[in-house]
Structure 1
Amino acid sequence: MKYEQLARDIIQQVGGKENVNSVVHCITRLRFKLKDESKANTEAIKNMDGVVTVMKSGGQYQVVIGNHVPDVYKAVVEVGGFQNQSPVDEEDGPKGSLFSRFIDIISSIFTPVLGVLAATGMIKGFNALFVAVGWLDATSGTYQLLNAIGDSLFYFFPIFLGYTAIKKFGGSPFIGMAIGAALVYPTLSTLTAGDPLYTVFAGTMFESPIHITFLGVPVILMTYSTSVIPIIIAAFFAAKLEKFLKTVIPDVIKMFIVPLLTLLIIVPLTFILIGPIATWAGMLLGSATVAVYNLSPLIAGIFLGGLWQVFVIFGLHWGLVPVAINNLTSLGADPVLALVFAASFAQIGAVLAVFLRIKNQKIKTLSIPAFISGIFGVTEPAIYGVTLPLKKPFIMSCIGGAVGGGIMGIMGTQVYIIGGLGVFGYPSNISPEGITTGFYGSLIGTAAAFVVGFVLTYLFGGVNKAVATTPQSDITPVAEEVSATKVGQEQILSPLAGNVVNLKDISDVAFSSGSLGQGVAIEPTEGKLVAPVSGTVSALFPTHHAIGITTETGAEVLIHIGMDTVQLEGKHFKAHVTQGEFVEKGQLLIEFDLDAIKRSGRALTTPVIVTNRKVISPNKASHVQTGEPIFIINE
Structure 2
Amino acid sequence: MKYEAFNRQIIKLVGGKKNIKAVVHCMTRLRFTLVDDKKAQTDKIKNMDGVIDVVNNDVAYQIIVGTHVTDVYDELVDMLGMTSSNELTNNDEGKKKNPVKAVMDVVSESMTPLLPPIICAGLLAALLSIVSLTGLISDSSSTYKIFDTVREAVFFFLPVLMAMSASKRLGVDPYLGVTLAVTIVSQSINGVKGLNLFGVPLPQITYANSFIPILLALWFMGYVTKFVKKIVPDKVQYFFTPLLIMVIMIPATLMVFGPLGFYFGEGIVGFFNLLMKYVGSWLVMMLYSALQPFIVMFGAGNFIMPIVASLIATEGYDPAFISSCTISDIAVGGAMLGYFLRAKKNSKQKQLFGTVTLSAIFGVTEPAIYGVFVKYRRPFVAVMIGGGLGGLFAGLTGVKAYSVAWGLFGLPSYIGKGNFTNLWLMVSAVIISFVGAAIAAYMLGIPVDSEDSEQILENDKKDITINENGLRAVPLKSVVTGNLIQLSEVNDKAFSSGGLGKGIAIQPTENNIYSPINGTVSVVFPTKHAIGINGDNGEEILIHIGIDTVQLEGKYFDLNIKQGDIVKAGQQIGKVDFKKIKEAGYDITTMVVVTNADDYTDVIPSENKQVNNSDSSMNIVLG
The two structures have a TM-score, normalised by structure 1, of: 0.49
Counterpart of 2:327 in structure 1 is 346
1:347 partner SS: helix
- Mapped to 1, the partners of 2:591 and 2:579 lie a distance apart of 17
2:505 partner SS: strand
The answer on 1:129 being equivalent to 2:134 is no
- Mapped to 2, the partners of 1:419 and 1:349 lie a distance apart of 16
Q: How does 1:618-633 map onto structure 2 within 5 Å? A: 618-620=605-607, 622=611
- Mapped to 1, the partners of 2:260 and 2:577 lie a distance apart of 42
Q: How does 1:78-477 map onto structure 2 within 5 Å? A: 78=81, 83-85=88-90, 121-148=122-149, 175=173, 179=177, 182-183=180-181, 187-192=185-190, 194-197=192-195, 221-223=205-207, 225=209, 227=211, 277=260, 279-292=262-275, 295=278, 297=280, 300-307=281-288, 313-318=304-309, 320=311, 343-350=324-331, 352-353=333-334, 356=337, 371=361, 403-404=389-390, 406-407=392-393, 413=398, 422-423=411-412, 425=414, 447-449=431-433, 451-452=435-436, 467=449, 473=457, 476=463
Deviation at 1:610, TM superposition (A): 11
- Mapped to 2, the partners of 1:261 and 1:569 lie a distance apart of 50
Asked whether the 8 Å contact 2:304–2:321 carries over to 1, the reply is: no
Asked whether the 8 Å contact 1:346–1:397 carries over to 2, the reply is: no
Q: What amino acid does structure 2 have at the position aligned with 1:302? A: L
Q: What amino acid does structure 2 have at the position aligned with 1:525? A: I
1:283 partner SS: helix
Q: What amino acid does structure 1 have at the position aligned with 2:88? A: Q
Distance change >3 Å, CA 59–CA 311, structure 1 → 2: closer
Distance change >3 Å, CA 525–CA 158, structure 1 → 2: farther
Deviation at 1:147, TM superposition (A): 3.5
Counterpart of 1:207 in structure 2 is none
The answer on 1:525 being equivalent to 2:530 is no
Unpaired runs of at least 5, structure 1: 9-22, 34-57, 198-210, 326-335, 373-380, 486-490, 533-540, 549-556, 577-585, 587-591
Asked whether the 8 Å contact 1:24–1:31 carries over to 2, the reply is: yes
Q: Which shows bigger deviation, 345-354 or 253-262? A: 253-262
Deviation at 1:225, TM superposition (A): 4.0
Deviation at 1:316, TM superposition (A): 1.9
1:188 partner SS: coil
Q: What amino acid does structure 1 have at the position aligned with 2:193? A: D
> What is the CA deviation profile of residues 326-379 of structure 1, one whole-angstrom value per residue up to 9, with x for unaligned ones?
xxxxxxxxxx9666685255134235347757989999989868856xxxxxxx
Counterpart of 1:567 in structure 2 is 551
2:186 partner SS: helix
The two structures have a TM-score, normalised by structure 2, of: 0.50
- Mapped to 1, the partners of 2:447 and 2:106 lie a distance apart of 25
Distance change >3 Å, CA 295–CA 125, structure 1 → 2: closer
Asked whether the 8 Å contact 1:502–1:520 carries over to 2, the reply is: yes
The answer on 1:26 being equivalent to 2:6 is no
Q: Which shows bigger deviation, 217-226 or 474-483? A: 474-483
> What is the CA deviation profile of residues 363-405 of structure 1, one whole-angstrom value per residue up to 9, with x for unaligned ones?
9989868856xxxxxxxx6589987998998998787665455
Counterpart of 1:39 in structure 2 is none
Counterpart of 1:43 in structure 2 is none
Deviation at 1:136, TM superposition (A): 1.4
1:83 partner SS: coil
Distance change >3 Å, CA 108–CA 59, structure 1 → 2: closer
Distance change >3 Å, CA 619–CA 320, structure 1 → 2: same
Distance change >3 Å, CA 105–CA 153, structure 1 → 2: same
Asked whether the 8 Å contact 2:488–2:498 carries over to 1, the reply is: no
- Mapped to 2, the partners of 1:153 and 1:519 lie a distance apart of 56
Asked whether the 8 Å contact 1:347–1:453 carries over to 2, the reply is: no
> What is the CA deviation profile of residues 192-234 of structure 1, one whole-angstrom value per residue up to 9, with x for unaligned ones?
455324xxxxxxxxxxxxx658x9796874435475x667777
Counterpart of 1:44 in structure 2 is none
Asked whether the 8 Å contact 2:475–2:619 carries over to 1, the reply is: yes
Aligned length: 504
- Mapped to 2, the partners of 1:341 and 1:510 lie a distance apart of 46
- Mapped to 2, the partners of 1:217 and 1:496 lie a distance apart of 79
Asked whether the 8 Å contact 2:163–2:214 carries over to 1, the reply is: yes
Q: What amino acid does structure 2 have at the position aligned with 1:283? A: E
Unpaired runs of at least 5, structure 2: 20-37, 52-62, 64-71, 293-300, 341-348, 533-540, 568-572
Q: What amino acid does structure 2 have at the position aligned with 1:129? A: I
- Mapped to 2, the partners of 1:131 and 1:337 lie a distance apart of 22
- Mapped to 2, the partners of 1:469 and 1:119 lie a distance apart of 40
Distance change >3 Å, CA 117–CA 448, structure 1 → 2: same
Deviation at 1:525, TM superposition (A): 2.7
Deviation at 1:302, TM superposition (A): 0.8
- Mapped to 2, the partners of 1:529 and 1:80 lie a distance apart of 52
- Mapped to 2, the partners of 1:244 and 1:531 lie a distance apart of 63
2:137 partner SS: coil
Deviation at 1:188, TM superposition (A): 2.9
Distance change >3 Å, CA 303–CA 470, structure 1 → 2: same
Asked whether the 8 Å contact 1:234–1:266 carries over to 2, the reply is: yes
Counterpart of 2:35 in structure 1 is none
Distance change >3 Å, CA 508–CA 441, structure 1 → 2: closer
Distance change >3 Å, CA 618–CA 254, structure 1 → 2: farther
Task: Give me the identity figure in percent.
Answer: 20
Asked whether the 8 Å contact 1:346–1:398 carries over to 2, the reply is: no
1:195 partner SS: coil
Asked whether the 8 Å contact 2:545–2:588 carries over to 1, the reply is: yes
Deviation at 1:492, TM superposition (A): 12
Distance change >3 Å, CA 59–CA 149, structure 1 → 2: closer
Q: What amino acid does structure 1 have at the position aligned with 2:505? A: A
1:525 partner SS: strand
Distance change >3 Å, CA 190–CA 67, structure 1 → 2: same
- Mapped to 2, the partners of 1:409 and 1:188 lie a distance apart of 38
- Mapped to 2, the partners of 1:528 and 1:248 lie a distance apart of 68
- Mapped to 2, the partners of 1:492 and 1:107 lie a distance apart of 48
- Mapped to 1, the partners of 2:303 and 2:357 lie a distance apart of 19
> What is the CA deviation profile of residues 157-207 of structure 1, one whole-angstrom value per residue up to 9, with x for unaligned ones?
66666666677x6x77x846763674355753541455324xxxxxxxxxx
Q: What amino acid does structure 1 have at the position aligned with 2:131? A: F
Distance change >3 Å, CA 80–CA 369, structure 1 → 2: closer
Asked whether the 8 Å contact 1:545–1:570 carries over to 2, the reply is: yes
- Mapped to 2, the partners of 1:339 and 1:457 lie a distance apart of 25
> What is the CA deviation profile of residues 553-573 of structure 1, one whole-angstrom value per residue up to 9, with x for unaligned ones?
xxxx99866433443579999
